[in-house]
Amino acid sequence: MGKKEVKAKQGDGECIFCKIGRGEIPCRKVLENDNFIVFYDVNPRTKGHCLIVPKKHFKTILDMPSSLYGEFLETAKEAAFKLLKEHRAEGFNLVLNNFEVAGQVVGHVHMHLMPRYKDDGFKLCVG
């Protein structure tokens, strides 16, 4: 049985992350596969801060099909290994903000991968 085609939610094609995913807007790419693109954040919080973004438009993780969750995390894992090596990071944070009240700025699901370094001064506020 083949994979089901994942249909994107309304708004596909209009947001900046959709345009980056299609190559219409340039980015500093870390890696890419069929369903996801990883690129450096234009406003990095730490050295090597990047975003893991599905190429199809889903507003939040709740809109993204469960069938993509594993690949989302595998893509994050691959990017983390690459950044740990290339930036000589000592650790990393994965952050997924959903909805504006939780800090989501772009209405297209994305995960932040922030390499961490001893005494980098970045504080992640978690209860």
Options 49, 57, 108, 110, the catalytic residue: 110
Check if 110 is active-site.
yes
- Cβ neighbors of 123 (< 8 A, separation 6 or more) are none
Secondary structure string (H, E, C) spanning 46-64: CCCCEEEEECCCCCCCCCC
Q: What is the DSSP letter of 66?
A: G
Give the C-alpha distances (Å, rounded to integers) separating 2 from 5, 14, 33, 75. Answer: 9, 29, 18, 21
* Nearest-angstrom CA–CA distance, 5 and 50: 27
Supply the residues annotated as catalytic: 110
